Amino acid sequence: MTILIIAEHHGAELSANTANVVSAAKKIGGDIHILVSGKDIDAVATQAARIGGVAKVLKAENAALDHHLAEEMQSLIMPMAKAYDVLMAPASTFGKNITPRLAAQLDTQQISDIIGIESPDTFLRPIYGGQAIAKVQSRDAQKVITVRPTAFDPVTDAGDAPIEDVSHTKSSLDSAFVTLQAAASDRPELTSARVVISGGRGVGSKENFDLIEALADKLGGAVGASRAAVDAGFVPNDWQVGQTGKVVAPELYIAVGISGAIQHLAGMKESKVIVAINKDEEAPIFQVADYGLVADLFDAVPELIEKL
């Protein structure tokens, strides 16, 4: 079995989720290769080579791959794809954008967002926003898989894999990168943060979200929100945690003024410790919380910030 992992990186930093995807690949078993691609990626290739259990790093250095446009990634990967039994990527917007293009070319039915591996051809994946878990067995010889990073503990041992250059032929398809408005924040990225503080409709306004942000900064955490808070216009959509937003599984998740709709729970119930602060003691969020505090958030959160 030979497995290719399509790695994500931001600038000179390999995404932390790569170590989670390698962990999933090790569960399937076989030779694991990591593909890094883009411009000025020496540092990224070295980081990938140091992950334990990796047999080889393929480095595609080419300006056309700088923004990982799906068409370019298809053009890069297809010539090497036949040599692999499994192609894997994180189930992030990066991976989701690319892998179905490969699966269609290889005539294989992709398995999205796996959270468990039963055997090399049988996987667990959430459906209906995590309201059910399907166990599926692939009948295709070649497999294309996206992995939910939070479902696999990252590989922590170190390695020293050789790095090999691979060439890229520019795609003939008409797509071009224009600009990136990166989320300007000193806070950790929501999906990989150790601590996440989320606010809901109960926070009441855009201005009141300063309170949530202050608590996040106190704990060195990221800020999230429920769909209700996003729909009310309090915060941008990329803060949304839930079925239609991001899936997070931090060590500590604090839900403030969030009732706990199914759609929100789907995005955070794998968190290791959940705290809920809500003045409605009947709120469903308390059913999943390890520590529930029935209190007015405008009293409790400032007190928490002061005493931490």
Partner 1 sequence: MKILVPVKRVIDYNVKVRVKSDHSGIDLANVKMSLNPFDEIAIEEAVRLKEAGIASEIVVVSIGPEKAQEQLRTAMAIGADRGILIQTDAPLDIGGVEPLAVAKILKAVIGQESPNLVIMGKQSIDDDSNQTGQMLASLLDWPQATFASKIEMQGQYASITREIDGGLEVIKIGLPGIITTDLRLNEPRYASLPNIMKAKKKPLDIIKIEDVGIDVTPRLKVTSVSEPPTRKGGGKVSSVDELIDKLKNEAKVI
For residues 110 and 226, which CB has a smaller minimum distance to partner 1 in the complex?
Answer: 110
Pick from 97, 84, 93, 94: which is nearest to 144 by CA? Answer: 84
**129: contact with partner 1 by CB under 8 A:** yes
Query: Cβ contacts of residue 52 below 8 Å, gap of 6+?
Result: 22, 155, 156, 157, 158, 159
> Can you tell me which of 33, 113, 152, 226 binds partner 1, judged by CB under 8 A?
113
Q: Which long-range contacts (CB under 8 A, 24 or more apart) does 182-189 make?
A: 183/236, 183/238, 187/216, 187/217, 187/221, 187/222, 187/223, 188/220, 188/221, 188/222, 189/222
153, two tokens = 């503990």
Q: Which stretch binds partner 1 (CB under 8 A): 22-30, 33-41, 48-56, 64-72?
A: 64-72
For residues 50 and 279, which CB has a smaller minimum distance to partner 1 in the complex?
Answer: 279
> Can you tell me which of 23, 92, 198, 259 binds partner 1, judged by CB under 8 A?
92
CA 24, chain centre distance (Å): 14
**100: contact with partner 1 by CB under 8 A:** yes
Q: Which stretch binds partner 1 (CB under 8 A): 39-47, 81-89, 206-214, 235-243?
A: 235-243
CB atoms within 10 A of CB 206: 12
Give the three-state DSSP class for 119.
strand
> Can you tell me which of 2, 12, 137, 206 binds partner 1, judged by CB under 8 A?
137
For residues 59 and 246, which CB has a smaller minimum distance to partner 1 in the complex?
Answer: 246
119, two tokens = 């055997």
Which residues in 18-57 contact partner 1 (CB under 8 A)?
none
**120: contact with partner 1 by CB under 8 A:** no
**70: contact with partner 1 by CB under 8 A:** yes
> Can you tell me which of 246, 255, 259, 267 binds partner 1, judged by CB under 8 A?
246
For residues 26 and 269, which CB has a smaller minimum distance to partner 1 in the complex?
Answer: 269
**133: contact with partner 1 by CB under 8 A:** yes
Give the three-state DSSP class for 13.
strand
Which residues in 160-219 contact partner 1 (CB under 8 A)?
173-183, 189, 191, 195, 219
> Can you tell me which of 16, 43, 80, 136 binds partner 1, judged by CB under 8 A?
136
Shortest Å, Cβ 288 to partner 1: 4
Q: HSE on the CB side for 155, CA within 13 Å? A: 21
**107: contact with partner 1 by CB under 8 A:** yes
Token pair 């922590």 is found at: 156
Q: Beta strands 195-199 and 222-225: pairing type?
A: parallel
